[in-house]
Each structure stands twice: as C-alpha cells, then as structure tokens.
C-alpha cells in the first residue's frame, strides 16, 4: 500500500489510542533546542496533529504538512480553529512551501516513511539559515517485561509487514548522515500508556501493520492479544512503555 494512504482507515483509532509525548520532551525543545512562541514550525507528516497541538500550546506557529486527507482533516478539527495552525497537503519530499520560510522542521513518528535524500534537499530549501530539523519517535520498548516481549513476538508472527515498516529500520548511520557532519544532537525521555483490553486492542489496530477485519490474520491476532493480555494483566491493565527519542541539528 502507498505509505501516504496506509492510515486512512485507522484515523479514529490513531487519534484515540496513540500516545502523546512527555512534557519533559517538549520542555527540552523549548529550553535547549531553542523553540519559542515566535518560532515558525513546520510539522511534516503531522498525521492527526498530536505533536502540532503540543507546540501550539506553547504559542508556536505551526504549519502541518500531511498527505493523507483523512488525517489532515482530523488535525484541523482537533486544533479547534487555533489561528496559529495551518494544515496543508504535501509531502516531505515536496511541500510546495516557499524557500527559507521556517525556523524549525519537526517530524514526529514520521521520518521512517520519507525518501530521506529527497526530504533532506527539501528541508534545506525551506529552512531559514541556521534552521534545525527535529526527528522524534515514541519507540515502544520490546523487552523488560513478559508482556512487552510477547507483544513484539506477536507482531512479528501475525503482523502484515511489521519487519519492513518498523521505524527501527532507520539506523544510526542514516541519522548521522542526514545531518551536517558532527551535527547530530540527541536526547531521550520515558512515557507509559496503561491499557485495559479495549485500549490495548485499539492501540494495536492503530498500527498500519496490524491486520484489519477480513484479513486472514485478524482473528488469530486478536485471539493472541487476548491471551497475552490475560497472562499479563494486573488489576485489569497492562503497561505499554516507550522511550521518546529526539534527534536534532542542522542539515
């Protein structure tokens, strides 16, 4: 499936069950990286606007570029008419925006979908001199508890194309080469979601590599998820842990 359309049928579950980002991570962007209420920020691959809204809360002016119409409309709706927010169609490789027009570019949970060489050219074109690119992922932990390890194993065995589209396929070498020589900076934070079975099911179905109703793996995966939950729940919930990774610098 075209990567720009992979989430069209998952907008509702994405909005409801995907995590936000730690307050400490947003503090870091404003206190260390340099964002401010005066910043013009381009959120590329903005999806439903989860990260855009965190920046808007701090007063930044945010333009969201999102090729998927359903997700873009969801971002507009959730912005509640904030005058500092604009959502437009476009892609990382071709935004259609003027040269040297933004202070920062952020890519939250999106960079692994891009043509990195073409995106780098486009980002350099539209950033102001000294502008920076910030790449962010909530990286789900895959070890440390029987639940986390079982969930990862289930995705490998029953997911549609998990091994191909997992953002962990973005290597450190790729990240280093994307930025100016010795220009990559990074930081990490922790975040946790706590799910009952309904929430866990929604979180699974928000992922583009989870089979949907009608796929031969759908029922086996939901059965496996139920069994995994029942083995590991405590007081009716399981912990879904992430490490928030931030990479930034000039390109």
DSSP structure class, residue 31: I
Please check whether residue 56 is in contact with residue 79, taking contact to mean a CB–CB distance below 8 angstroms: yes
Question: Nearest to residue 14, comparing CAs of 72, 85, 81, 90?
Answer: 72
Q: What is the pTM of this model?
A: 0.86
Question: Nearest to residue 204, comparing CAs of 151, 251, 136?
Answer: 151
Count of CB atoms within 10 A of residue 4's CB? 16
What are the structural domains, with CATH classification, of the chain?
Answer: 3-140+166-192+242-249 (3.40.50.150)
Q: What is the pLDDT of residue 11?
A: 63
Q: What tens-digit pLDDT sequence spans the chain (251 residues)?
A: 444 444 444 566 767 888 889 999 999 999 999 999 999 999 999 999 999 999 999 999 999 999 999 889 999 999 999 999 999 999 999 999 999 999 999 999 999 889 999 999 999 999 999 999 999 999 999 999 999 999 999 999 998 878 776 666 688 899 999 999 999 999 999 999 999 999 999 999 888 788 888 899 999 999 999 999 999 999 999 999 999 999 999 99
Q: Please give the Cα distance from 93 to 240 (Å, whole number).
A: 33
Q: What is the pLDDT of residue 2?
A: 44
Q: Please give the Cα distance from 27 to 58 (Å, whole number).
A: 10
Q: Please give the Cα distance from 39 to 97 (Å, whole number).
A: 16
Give, in degrees to the nearest 5, the angle at Cα 34 between 170 and 139.
30
Where do the DSSP E strands lie in 68-225? Answer: 85-88, 102-108, 127-140, 185-195
Cα torsion through 52, 137, 160, 148, rounded to 10: -120
- Contacts by 127-130, CB closer than 8 A, 24 or more apart: 127/100, 127/102, 127/103, 127/251, 128/100, 128/101, 128/102, 128/103, 129/100, 130/250
């Amino acid at each position: 499936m075209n990567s720009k359309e992979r989430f069209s049928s998952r907008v509702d579950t994405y909005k409801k069950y995907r995590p936000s980002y730690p307050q400490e991570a947003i503090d870091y962007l404003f206190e260390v990286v340099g964002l401010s209420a005066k910043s013009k920020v381009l959120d590329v691959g903005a999806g439903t606007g989860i990260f855009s809204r965190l920046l808007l809360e701090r007063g930044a002016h945010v333009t969201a570029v999102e090729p998927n119409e359903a997700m873009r409309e969801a971002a507009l709706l959730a912005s509640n008419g904030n005058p500092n927010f604009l959502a437009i169609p476009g892609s990382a490789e071709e935004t259609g925006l003027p040269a040297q027009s933004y202070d920062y570019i952020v890519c939250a949970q999106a960079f692994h979908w891009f043509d990195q060489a073409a995106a780098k050219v486009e980002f350099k074109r539209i950033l102001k001199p000294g502008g920076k690119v910030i790449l962010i992922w909530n990286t789900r932990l895959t070890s440390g508890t029987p639940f986390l390890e079982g969930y990862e194993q289930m995705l490998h065995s029953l997911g549609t194309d998990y091994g191909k589209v997992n953002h962990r396929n973005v290597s450190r070498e790729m990240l280093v080469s994307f930025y100016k020589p010795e220009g990559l900076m990074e930081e990490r934070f922790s975040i946790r979601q706590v799910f009952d079975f309904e929430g866990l099911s929604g979180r699974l179905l928000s992922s583009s590599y989870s089979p949907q109703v009608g796929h031969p793996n759908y029922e086996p995966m939901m059965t496996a998820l139920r069994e995994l939950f029942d083995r590991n729940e405590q007081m009716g919930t399981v912990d879904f842990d992430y490490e928030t990774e931030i990479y930034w610098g000039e390109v």
